Amino acid sequence: MSRLFAPTLREVPAEAEVISHQYLLRAGYIRKTAAGIYSYLPLGWRVLRKIEQIVREEMDRAGGQEVFLPALQPAEIWQESGRWDVYGKELFRLKDRHERDFCLGPTHEEIITDLVRREISSYRDLPKRLYQIQTKARDEIRPRLGLIRCREFIMKDLYSFDRDQAGLEESYQAMYRAYERIFRRLGLRFKVVEADTGAIGGKDSHEFMVLADTGEGVIVYCEACDYAANLERAVTGEVVPDLTEPAKEMQEVPTPGRHSVEEVTAYLGVTAERLVKTLIYRAIYRDREEPVAVLVRGDRDVNETKLKNAVGALFVELADASLVQEVTGAPVGFAGPVGLKNVRILADLEVPRVVNAVVGGNKADVHLINVNYGRDYQAGEVLDLRNAAAGDPCPRCGAPLQLTRGIEVGHIFKLGTKYSEALGATYLGEDGQEHYIIMGSYGIGIPRTMAAAVEQNHDADGIIWPFPIAPYHVIIVPVNYAVPEQQELAESLYRELTAAGVETIIDDRDERAGVKFKDADLMGFPLRITVGPRALKEGKVELRRRADGSVMLLERSEVVAKVKAEIQAGYPKLEDENTGADIGVLG
């Protein structure tokens, strides 16, 4: 340890906001090189290698073969797939000395598909599952949260190549199971959620979320059944209509200067459920853009992913004030569906059920009350457009849904033929015909997994590593290394434990005990052996668990066996579940 390159910091660097970032910096695991670009110091690199190793074993077990593809990639194949233009600014682009275009790989669909199309020609060559563990580069709009969102990061990416849909299904499920095993083996609490497929393309998709309050992703799940989805995707169940109230006559009311839902409801003395919000969005398509009006209940939020999918746009954004004025004839805050013309109107499922609603009057400082769907206004389409909320009925079983947060550490996609068609990756089938290879892609962010592990496992003193990814299982701390008796005992224990296959580090620094204890806690080694006069008086040594702080006094002779038992107990046991019974989410 006196030789270890792991500079610890007593104070929190100002740039670090989240716990994992703070502790990984303070404990000397990482250092920042530039925004979203990190160097991994010895301890950090040991953790990453342990994660990689578990990932590697499970990929191999699931039929994967490891390859290593170039990070530096020629523009041609990206132009061929169409993503040279579509991927946008996130692609790190560069030129070589001959002015030829290259990019740094943000992902490797193009490269691997190019490789496979050259080398695979027959159905006999399929299926194949190829993966690598490699550095990716993405010029993120905003790198943040330390290792959670980086511009350069290590990713395990596997690509599956199958003959047909059934083959893809098999590959997908194999990966699904492998991912579950990986995150269990890592000792992390996680949830698998249905996900929207996003920019990479394709159809089905699941995300593996490590549960942590600091997570960027919101998870909607049901405790009664196994439904779980991320917020973008989560379907809101039908709500029982409440139409007992008789419809009253529609009326204009002045609402001077009241734009927001809070202001209007407070002014009119109604609840937000009584209000129907009208939001004007700008839907952007490949060749054009158009405004759309979206109606949701006053207490709900529009789900932009659902909206984007509903209108089939590349993306959607809230309209600015001038567009709102143009569409509604009123300033922002007074848009309403009554008499709204020349714009596509979409309403959330709940909206028609709001009886005697409050809506904007499409005039400055005017709202309408007692507005009723069907009689006073109509939407072109009525569909699920809002974010799910806690307490909503589960779309599967109707039980109330719950929300929690998580960090997305793994993502699996069914790509289908998106890339094989673009790049012409075909094989000759048994039927003598050419077919497109059916693909899937499966990623795990390695440094992000490390950060997620810290987010989930820490206390006020520092990191508490799960055994499988701790840089060392045990740290031996002699209270005073200068005392020969302590030094001898510490060193002999170190030799014995190391010989017994226990990953051990010894704090031989000339520091006071308190400093060594603080650093050991900060760095998060799951076990600590303290060699000091207190226990030595009785001829014993202390074994302390980092997680709960409990201390065991052990005879010198039983140390190795006890440590091994603790480690054994610290590794999650995987019941060998190959039945697939637990993956009902796949339906």
Partner RNA sequence: CGGGGCGUGGCGCAGCUUGGUAGCGCACAUGGUUUGGGACCAUGGGGUCGUAGGUUCGAAUCCUAUCGCCCCGACCA
Which residues, 403 to 422, sit near RNA by CB under 7 A?
408-411
Residue from 3, 5, 34, 68 in contact with RNA (CB under 7 A): 34
Residue from 60, 80, 164, 216 in contact with RNA (CB under 7 A): 216
The reply to whether 155 sits near RNA by the rule CB under 7 A is yes
Nearer to RNA, 102 or 315 (CB): 315
Residue from 144, 189, 435, 545 in contact with RNA (CB under 7 A): 144
> What's the CA gap between 362 and 338, in Å, rounded?
8
- Least spacing, CB of residue 517 vs RNA, in Å: 3
Residue from 173, 356, 378, 480 in contact with RNA (CB under 7 A): 480
Residue from 118, 142, 341, 573 in contact with RNA (CB under 7 A): 142
The reply to whether 28 sits near RNA by the rule CB under 7 A is no
Residue from 482, 548, 575, 587 in contact with RNA (CB under 7 A): 482
Nearer to RNA, 392 or 408 (CB): 408
Helices 559-570, 484-499: axis angle to 10 degrees equals: 50
> What's the CA gap between 238 and 223, in Å, rounded?
18
Residue from 253, 261, 513, 583 in contact with RNA (CB under 7 A): 513
Which residues, 83 to 102, sit near RNA by CB under 7 A?
90
The reply to whether 128 sits near RNA by the rule CB under 7 A is no
- Least spacing, CB of residue 251 vs RNA, in Å: 36
For residues 70 and 111, the answer to whether their CB atoms sit within 8 Å is yes
- CB within 8 Å of 133: residues ≥ 6 apart: 52, 55, 56, 66, 154, 155, 156, 446
The reply to whether 66 sits near RNA by the rule CB under 7 A is no
Nearer to RNA, 138 or 473 (CB): 138
Ranges assigned E (strand) in 51-127 = 65-66, 72-74, 92-95, 101-104
DSSP string, 141-177: SS-BTGGGB-SEEEEEEEEEEESSHHHHHHHHHHHHH
Which burial class, exposed, middle or buried, applies to 268 when counting CB atoms under 10 A from its CB (0-12, 13-18, 19+)? middle
Residue (of 497, 487, 496, 524) closest to 6 by Cα position: 524
For residues 121 and 432, the answer to whether their CB atoms sit within 8 Å is no
Residue from 2, 9, 65, 434 in contact with RNA (CB under 7 A): 9
* Alpha-helix residue ranges (DSSP H) falling in 371-480: 418-423, 446-456
C-alpha distances (whole Å) from 177 to each of 63, 151, 414, 453 are 12, 29, 15, 20
- Least spacing, CB of residue 210 vs RNA, in Å: 9
Nearer to RNA, 217 or 336 (CB): 217
* Identity of the residue numbered 272: A
> Strand 190-194 and strand 458-459: pairing?
unpaired
Nearer to RNA, 482 or 581 (CB): 482
Which residues, 449 to 468, sit near RNA by CB under 7 A?
461
The reply to whether 363 sits near RNA by the rule CB under 7 A is no
Q: How many residues bind RNA (CB under 7 A)?
A: 72
- Least spacing, CB of residue 324 vs RNA, in Å: 16
- Least spacing, CB of residue 483 vs RNA, in Å: 8
Radius of gyration of the chain from its Cα atoms, rounded to whole angstroms: 29
Residue from 32, 189, 344, 545 in contact with RNA (CB under 7 A): 32
Nearer to RNA, 198 or 580 (CB): 198
The reply to whether 564 sits near RNA by the rule CB under 7 A is no
Token pair listed for 521: 């806690």
The reply to whether 548 sits near RNA by the rule CB under 7 A is no
Q: Which stretch binds RNA (CB under 7 A): 274-282, 321-329, 380-388, 508-516?
A: 508-516
Nearer to RNA, 425 or 475 (CB): 475
The reply to whether 139 sits near RNA by the rule CB under 7 A is no
Which residues, 522 to 541, sit near RNA by CB under 7 A?
522, 530, 532-536
DSSP string, 99-115: --EEEE-S--HHHHHHH
Termini Cα distance of the chain: 51
Token pair listed for 231: 């917020």
* Identity of the residue numbered 134: Q
Token pair listed for 62: 């699931």
- Least spacing, CB of residue 318 vs RNA, in Å: 9
Nearer to RNA, 194 or 352 (CB): 194
Which residues, 260 to 319, sit near RNA by CB under 7 A?
304-305, 315, 317
